[in-house]
């Protein structure tokens, strides 16, 4: 039996058959393995109601349904640290996303995604809608909406640049003692980052910097700092750090007007979860 990445697409031709039975026959996997993959979000169905994940292994399927199984052992075997609730505001919540946790799942699974984590662990249970993203290997504050209307309101605030995100980042080298704005385009799209030195450790020659962004391009902070000669500590893609070093880039502050009453909301991550210099700063 192959344990390589594979896809199974099955047209259901009989009523009241279960996905587990069909997939066990088609894939050759044990029913227990398939049930676990279903819980992790790797099984989907398409019918008259649309396409959605299938998690209930006892649900009966009907003729005319198409069943999909996206099997990737690397994805299904992934584990991540727990997300931490920072604030529950009923219609939305603020969470600490640890390094390695995804902002959103894929067709191959969602058990390591923040929205799935929230749906499983927030009490009382509520739907979880991702409002914005944070790089997989970055950590920090992330907003989750619990109603579609709130998700739209928060997304509108992002589009209007009324939600301010600030990052603390450890970089290699002595950063200049003044705020620097980087505006190099990323993927031919405008990208603007403002970087300010907070502290420097002469023993390790690392700087702790504050970063404000006006745009949210993929890997924007990592790319701008690397191009400027100050790669982020732990960045193996745009820098040259080893596998043993975690990416030291954390979204530590979120501030925005509450979309319901207009009152300013400010959320700051506990200092224990923020990047730090190893030694006393200069």
Give the CATH number of domain 78-160: 3.30.2350.10
Q: May I ask the CATH architecture of the domain 164-282?
A: 2-Layer Sandwich (3.30)
**What local confidence, expressed as pLDDT, does residue 278 receive?**
82
- List, for residues 95-149, the tens digit of each pLDDT value: 999 999 999 999 999 999 999 999 999 999 999 999 999 999 999 999 999 999 9
Contact of 134 with 80, CB cutoff 8 Å: no
- List, for residues 225-259, the tens digit of each pLDDT value: 999 999 999 999 898 887 678 999 999 999 999 99
DSSP code of 247?
Answer: P
The answer for 41, left when phi > 0, alpha when psi is -120 to 50, beta otherwise, is left
Residue ranges, comma separated, of all CATH 3.10.290.10 domains in the chain are: 6-76
- Residue 195, pLDDT above cutoff 70: yes
- List, for residues 65-99, the tens digit of each pLDDT value: 999 999 999 999 999 999 999 999 999 999 999 99
- Please choose, from the candidates 77, 135, 72, the residue with its C-alpha nearest in 3D space to the C-alpha of residue 101: 135
Across the chain, what does the average pLDDT equal?
Answer: 94
Task: Indicate the pLDDT class of residue 280, thresholds 50, 70 and 90.
Answer: low
Top pLDDT among 241 and 275 is at 275
Helix then strand count (H, E) for the chain reads 6, 16
Residue ranges, comma separated, of all CATH 3.30.2350.10 domains in the chain are: 78-160, 164-282
Give the CATH number of domain 6-76: 3.10.290.10
């Amino acid at each position: 039996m192959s344990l390589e990445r594979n896809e199974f697409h099955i047209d259901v031709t009989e009523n009241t058959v279960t996905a587990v039975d069909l997939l066990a026959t088609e894939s050759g996997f044990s029913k227990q393995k398939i049930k676990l993959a279903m819980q992790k979000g790797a099984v989907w169905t398409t019918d008259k109601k649309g396409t959605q994940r299938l998690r209930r292994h006892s649900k009966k399927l009907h003729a005319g349904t198409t069943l999909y199984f996206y099997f990737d052992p690397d994805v299904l075997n992934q584990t991540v640290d727990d997300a931490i609730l920072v604030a529950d505001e009923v219609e939305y919540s603020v969470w600490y996303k640890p390094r390695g946790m995804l902002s959103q799942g894929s067709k191959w699974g969602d058990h390591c995604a923040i929205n799935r984590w929230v749906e499983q662990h927030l009490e009382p249970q509520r739907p979880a809608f991702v409002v914005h993203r944070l790089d997989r290997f970055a950590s920090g504050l992330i907003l989750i909406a619990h109603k579609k209307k709130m998700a739209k309101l928060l997304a509108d605030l992002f589009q209007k640049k009324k939600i301010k995100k600030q990052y603390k980042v450890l970089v290699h080298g002595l950063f200049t003692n003044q705020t620097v704005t980087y505006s190099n385009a990323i993927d031919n799209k405008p990208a603007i980052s403002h970087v300010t030195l907070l502290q420097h450790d002469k023993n390790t020659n690392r700087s702790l910097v504050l970063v404000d962004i006006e745009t949210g391009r993929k890997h924007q902070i990592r790319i701008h700092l690397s191009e400027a000669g100050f790669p982020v500590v732990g960045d193996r893609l745009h820098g040259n750090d080893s596998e043993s070093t975690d990416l030291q880039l954390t979204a530590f502050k979120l501030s925005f007007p509450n979309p319901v009453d207009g009152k300013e909301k400010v959320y700051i991550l506990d200092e224990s979860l923020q990047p730090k210099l190893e030694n006393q700063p200069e």
